[in-house]
Structure 1
Amino acid sequence: MFVKVPVFKKLLKRAFAAGRMKVKMDESGLTVDCSHFAVWFEREHISNKIKSAIVELAGEIPEEGKAFLAQKSGNQYEMDSAALDARSAFRQTDKRYVQTPIVYSDDYDTYRFLQMAGKTDNIKLVADIFIQLLDPHELDFSAAEGTIQGPYGTENGTMFFWATDLCILAVGAIVPHRGIVKKTMLELADIDFEGDYSGLEEG
């Protein structure tokens, strides 16, 4: 599974401290929903490192059909409806996006720009820390896990997905407020990040 464990643990700790770490197990797999991002893991191939990261904070992995909100005072069960169904949400996507190399940093965070394939003026923004969760070296080749696909979303959607057959990462889009970010998005609309600009290169 393509999740980079040190980054995953860092984000889990933040979510746990803020009371936003929901964990759900169903017949298909394990979902960890931390509000701004969620990860679904196919249940038969969850690595021990992922399980340990969850147990370190929550103290347990839920049984099938169970879900809880992880809290310092004790896990609050019956939170199933509140956890994202990442597989269902991923199936509803119909647009491919390009993960551009463009990032913007300020005093609070670093953001990554995504561009919808075939529609260059459709630019979205996500926190770059979630991009750092993607690690091809963590793919489970012994289980024939394929390459990471994505990001995918909808034209007007607020959530984006990277996926293999064993794992899905869902990341919420950020609504830009700063003028410089909005200006950057307007400028990026003139660039097709899948276009061929080799003619501009010097010989």
Structure 2
Amino acid sequence: MSAEENITRNPPADCTDDTCPINFTSQPTLDADKKDCANDPILSRITLYDCNGNKVPTSEVENKIIGFYVGASWCPPCRLFAPRLCAFLEDNRSSFAVIHVSLDHSESAFEEYTYAKPWYNIPYDLPIRESLVREWKVSTIPALLIYNPMTHQTITTWGRTAVMKNPQGCLEEWKQNRHGVGWIQLIRGNEIAVLIWVGLIYFCAYYIYQLFVL
């Protein structure tokens, strides 16, 4: 059985169908050359490589909306989301870039997961990977944080939901500093659950009204 098949058939016990929690095993560390720089522009703090191991200047992405993809090969939901993200990236390369922030447990797993992917990678051996995830307060993966390098602002942490629910319109909304997904997209496909919750809220409100008002 391959490593991928084993992960798919035997996912970590604390994963759900949608996310996996992050459990750091090490204490926070700072890159020796990057101390006290948490407020600096992100692109000035990282090094980028493509899937072939070639170093890429950050100027390649500094004029695009960037999606920082936090994921790992051991996370089944990440493996399900990655093809959707790659397809979205291929359709929007002129104005969108993805930078992968790996949380894999080994460099070999990192290399396997990133092989032939169209995104850029922060090298596995750089501690800035974990530092960024801690700064962003990411607690579950997959996560896609949308960042505007022109304004040095994180636009939204809902990037994954936007790509899944609103792939045709989210990029233009990100350019306008919006989340990229609205309530209509969020409830689409979950109409029954929404109706149940609305019914429960109505019932509770009616019961309280009958109990205390009448």
Could you tell me the TM-score, scaled by structure 1's length? Answer: 0.22
> Rg larger in 1 or in 2?
2
The structure where strand makes up a greater share of residues is: 1
The structure where helix makes up a greater share of residues is: 2
Could you tell me the TM-score, scaled by structure 2's length? Answer: 0.22
